[in-house]
Structure 1
Amino acid sequence: MWAAFLMRVIRKKVVLGFIFSISLTYCILSIINENGEISINEMEVPPIRKQDQPFLWHSGKEENLTSIKVTTCRNSVQGKSENTKRYACDTCKENGCCSIYEYCISCCLDPNKKNILQGVLGKASETFNVLFASVTDHFELCLAKCRTSSQSVQHENSYRDPRAKHCYGETPPVAAAAQPVPADSAE
């Protein structure tokens, strides 16, 4: 008898509305409290480099690689490089555009390219200052420059030159000539 009485009370619209209101209030409060408890350590904010802060460049001299303490592996998102030479520019052209992302980074890291990269940093517009502000050293600059070069794109999704997709230099690649359509397949 108690069970039947309890079920009749629970089925009333007022009681169901009250239960729904309490549940909704609890849900909203838990979401607000959860968002308020995010600490700085949980958010991965890259360090911001100020314009007057010195930039860390790789030196041209060979260091004793066995005495350097490596704390983290600083490879690209695509994985460890597929080349073994220190500064491989095998697929790169004179204007600083390469067909393979890893070769672009490797060639960009060459200490002889420091003047080109300093020019890129000096001519960075306000839009790119946001991108380059989180870049703290030579390697990160090469990662960003080879990955985000808009100079190699002709339209939204086509490259100016498919053999020069990734650029670290200031000069955009020359647009590749369109292949002529044979007369037989024109119909």
Structure 2
Amino acid sequence: MWYAALVRILRRRIVLTIIFLLSLTYCLVNLWGNSGNSYKDIEEITYKREQPLIWREDPINNGTNGGKSKGCRNSVQGKTLLVDEEGYVCSRSNVLSNGCCDSNENVQYNCDTCTESEGCCAVYEKCVSCCLSPDKRPILEKAMELASGRQTALFATVRDQFELCLAKCRTDSHSVQHENQYKNPETKFCYAYIEAHESQRDN
């Protein structure tokens, strides 16, 4: 008898409505509470390097004749220019069979389209070349120290200064303002740390 009475009560619309509203409120409160913390939790993840980054002036890089005998890694994607891991920039048509630029015909650590004060360049390959100079290590260390979010994760995976320079010159969100305009369209490839535009800073 009591079972039938309980079923009748549960069938009433008002009871079902109350149960639905309570469930909906519970879901919304949990969803809203977790969404506020998820981004923060991602930001607080610490990315640790598994091996120390190899800098150009490290002994491991000396006495190898610049790696020319075994070949070079290079920036690959340039339409007209390439930069090799020794910091030489050359035209795509003049790359040697081992992937290196001819060191006798090209300038190493070419910064001729770069502004030293900003650490930004007009040409991607010259940004990488300039960035590879051993004297840029303090600037790069500062950039890595001040990096946040995705850049921190990216910098934790690079093995040496060449990979760091490829990544740093390719994408730097601090070289843009309002998320879709370059601060300086003439020198948009940057190896140095740039203060974020006010449109990108946390309020």
**2:127 is paired with a residue of what secondary structure?**
helix
Q: 1:108 to 1:173 in 2, by over 3 A?
A: farther
The reply to whether residue 157 of structure 1 matches residue 180 of structure 2 is yes
- Higher relative contact order by CA 8 Å / sep ≥ 6: 1 or 2? 1
2:7 corresponds to: none
Q: 1:65 to 1:164 in 2, by over 3 A?
A: same
Q: Encode CA deviations 1:29-76: one digit per residue, 9 max, x unaligned.
A: xxxxxxxxxxxxxxxxxxxx9436211011289756277542553334
Q: Residue 150 of structure 1: CA displacement?
A: 1.2
Q: 1:76 to 1:152 in 2, by over 3 A?
A: farther
Question: Unaligned stretches of 5+ in structure 1?
Answer: 1-48, 175-187
Alignment of 1:55-134 (within 5 A): 55-59=53-57, 63=63, 65=65, 68-71=68-71, 73-78=73-78, 80-81=82-83, 82-83=89-90, 84-94=106-116, 95-134=118-157
Question: Unaligned stretches of 5+ in structure 2?
Answer: 1-46, 84-88, 91-105, 198-203
Distance, in Å, in 1 between the alignment partners of 2:136 and 2:192 is 9
Aligned-residue Cα RMSD (Å) equals 2.9
2:200 corresponds to: none
More divergent stretch after superposition (64-73 vs 151-160): 64-73
Normalized against structure 2, the TM-score is what?
0.53
The structure in which a higher percent of residues are strand is 2
Q: Residue 127 of structure 1: CA displacement?
A: 2.7
Q: Encode CA deviations 1:89-130: one digit per residue, 9 max, x unaligned.
A: 001012100011011000000101000101111222243221
Q: 1:163 to 1:62 in 2, by over 3 A?
A: farther
Distance, in Å, in 1 between the alignment partners of 2:57 and 2:157 is 21
- Contact 2:175–2:194 under 8 Å retained in 1: no
Q: 1:51 to 1:159 in 2, by over 3 A?
A: same
40, 49, 59: which one pairs with 1:51? 49
Distance, in Å, in 2 between the alignment partners of 1:168 and 1:66 is 22
Aligned length: 126
- Following superposition, which runs of at least 4 residues in structure 1 exceed 6 angstroms of deviation? none
Structure (1 or 2) with the larger CA radius of gyration: 1
